[in-house]
Structure 1
Amino acid sequence: MRLLSIVAGGLLLLHAPVPACAQTVWDMATEYPQSAMPGLAMTAFAEHVAALTGGKVVVRPSFDATAGIRSADMLAAIAQGRVQAGDAFAGSLGAEDAIFALPSLPFLVTSIMDAHRLADLARPYIAAALHKRGQRLLYLTPWPPSGIWSKRLLRTAADLAGLSIRTYDKVSREVFARAGAKASSISFAEMMPLLTNGSINAVLSSGDGDIGRTLSKYLPYFTEITYSLPMSVASVNQAAFDRLTPELREAVDSAGRLTETESWVTLSSRLQQNYQRMRERGVTIDPAPAPALIAALHEGAAAARQEWCVRSGPACENILGAFKAGKP
């Protein structure tokens, strides 16, 4: 009987469930489509995290605001634990801290090289602003240059007065309002119903990825004004990050650095890819808008940059001073 008990015990051990490898799962949200630059970056980040942690950390992305979170509410959602991580359009976070409005200041950068340099100068300030809110910067995602999508070709500065335009943050709303347009700051997730019912007849956007497919159905003209090369910010709840082992934390940080590097490489050819898709959908691209139209927008842009400097304090001189001096 004793032998039978030993054998039976051994068989039970053989059939006992094997403990699964401990796994951390982070939900990560964005209001943008998977095909847009932030969506591509989130997909890549999830893949890099899985590879570099050996599957011990899993990032579950959600796109198109399916988690019910807009960019402006992303930091609060992460702090509250609705998601562990998220991507938000930086300009939409301007009410949280002035530093987030920096990348979308109008006519500050006109090239990818300058946008990259500005991002590097702003990074420690963005990271500090996130840290104050209990979050850690994962990576920054650049966007292609913003232009004006409209129902009609914009020929003169007076045409701006006929626009009911969706802008993407407080600064762009004020710039277009000063130029005579009826401007409203509207999140991408809330834009479509207004575009469909005709409440807006123009959109400030790059039209990146499938965003362009959507806009081209209603707005057949794109005026290339290179308003800004804005950015999105990806962050994670610091407490969730701190619960990882040191090795896993380094792997996640490495995944973020790799994701950002890849995004800048992608951006170098993204604009022409977007333009090709736009032309295929019948969009007329105006690469040389009337100087008077640009001048009207520049007037509001100068005031916007001045107001930003007042709000941002020392960051204005530290960042913009170094940027204008050509420092890396």
Structure 2
Amino acid sequence: MTLPRRLLLAAPALAALPARAQAAGWTVATEYPATSIPGEGVTHFAAIATARGVPVTAATDGPGGYRSAAALTALAEGRFAAVDAFAGALNAVDPLFLLSSLPFLTASHADAARLRDLARPHYVAALGKHGATLLWTTPWPPSGLWTRQPVRTPADLRGLRVRTYDATGTEVLRAAGAIAEVLSFGEVDARLEAGTLDAVLSSGDGGAGRRLWRWLPNFTELNYAWPVSLAFASGARLAALAPAQREAVLQAGAETEARQWQAIIGRLEANHRVMRENQVGIHRPDAALQVALRDASKASTEAWKARAGEAGRSILAAFAAA
């Protein structure tokens, strides 16, 4: 059958419709469990965007082997339309992504929010170079050590096989005597099951999400850092949306950010409650361990400043002055 001329002329426009309708295929992924604060974030974002006419599915627990360190690759390959990634895992892309997990820089929710505001333009620019658009940030509760045996002193730390979440944490814990290595959260369970890890550097939130107490029934509150995760979308996928859909996605991201930073308030107490319900021993480091870790962190912080250059130094100077 011969098609009418008006339909033949319209064919290119019709062929372009699937690109503009890509919202139907949107998935936002995170490597963390649905019960973790990043997991809650992607679920919240998906619900808001879907309600506003942009169907989005939240995928937690590292779908298809997704890891934060490969977040930009996953977007470039079209595996997901948007992702959540632990910022420190992106240090190979730009050392500024390690900022929020610098040891003993932030000591509170307010500190973490202030550092986020100073760093946001740099996050936006660094992601933009790789065709990604920042949607929201998520704060993690302060990092501590999940361990088989209580860790309170420098001697307790020496020789421990510890999972860390970024290069800086690895350097610090090695300098303090541990045997540390960077692992994604998705690799932790198998290593603990195999008995090749003794400890995990994570927040109470991350540990509770993975139920680390099955292997590691002790948690030492180091207050090491208040790091952030970043959620960002493929710029190409955003551009393929109709203007109203694009605005809905960006607004959903802004609302998710507000939700995440409100949700962190009281999260520490909630995590403690869950941990105690599961017979986790919660410990404080002694003064000697606190001093040892702070001393061990100095060299890695100075090395980061050198790698991050003027941008990193200016953020730290503004943070210290505020």
TM-score, reference length from structure 2: 0.91
Match of 1:24 in 2: 23
* Shift in Å, 1:297: 1.0
Are residues 1:317 and 2:317 paired? no
Match of 2:239 in 1: 242
* Shift in Å, 1:210: 6.7
Contact kept in structure 1, 2:33 and 2:209, CA below 8 Å: no
Change (3 A) 1:213 1:239: closer
CA distances 1:20-57 after superposition (whole Å, capped 9, x unpaired):
x9562312211110110111000000111122x3x2x1
Q: Amino acid of the residue matched to residue 43 of structure 2?
A: T
* Shift in Å, 1:229: 0.7
* Shift in Å, 1:209: 6.0
How far apart in 1 are the matches of 2:274 and 2:185? 20
| Structure with the greater alpha carbon radius of gyration | 1
1:108-257 aligned at under 5 Å gives the runs 108-208=105-205, 211-212=208-209, 214-257=211-254
How far apart in 1 are the matches of 2:285 and 2:23? 51
Match of 2:11 in 1: none
How far apart in 2 are the matches of 1:258 and 1:155? 40
Contact kept in structure 2, 1:135 and 1:236, CA below 8 Å: yes
Are residues 1:272 and 2:273 paired? no
Contact kept in structure 1, 2:28 and 2:46, CA below 8 Å: no
Match of 2:301 in 1: 305
Instruction: Tell me which of 76, 82, 87 is aligned to 1:90.
Output: 87
Contact kept in structure 2, 1:35 and 1:210, CA below 8 Å: no
How far apart in 2 are the matches of 1:125 and 1:34? 28
CA distances 1:245-290 after superposition (whole Å, capped 9, x unpaired):
222222211111110111111000111000000011001101x311
SS at match of 1:24: helix
Change (3 A) 1:95 1:217: same
Q: Amino acid of the residue matched to residue 268 of structure 1?
A: I
How far apart in 2 are the matches of 1:292 and 1:100? 30
How far apart in 2 are the matches of 1:69 and 1:133? 18
* Shift in Å, 1:214: 1.8
CA distances 1:62-81 after superposition (whole Å, capped 9, x unpaired):
11112221111111110121
Are residues 1:44 and 2:41 paired? no
How far apart in 2 are the matches of 1:242 and 1:226? 41
TM-score, reference length from structure 1: 0.89
CA distances 1:144-201 after superposition (whole Å, capped 9, x unpaired):
1110111111232121113111111111011100101000111000111111121011
Moved more, 89-98 or 311-320: 311-320
Match of 1:259 in 2: 256
* Structure 2, unaligned runs of 5 or more: 1-16
SS at match of 1:162: coil
Contact kept in structure 2, 1:213 and 1:278, CA below 8 Å: no
Q: Give RMSD over aligned pairs.
A: 1.7
Change (3 A) 1:114 1:194: same
Contact kept in structure 2, 1:33 and 1:211, CA below 8 Å: no
How far apart in 2 are the matches of 1:22 and 1:93? 30
Moved more, 95-104 or 210-219: 210-219
Are residues 1:293 and 2:292 paired? no
Moved more, 277-286 or 246-255: 246-255
Contact kept in structure 2, 1:33 and 1:210, CA below 8 Å: no
* Structure 1, unaligned runs of 5 or more: 1-18
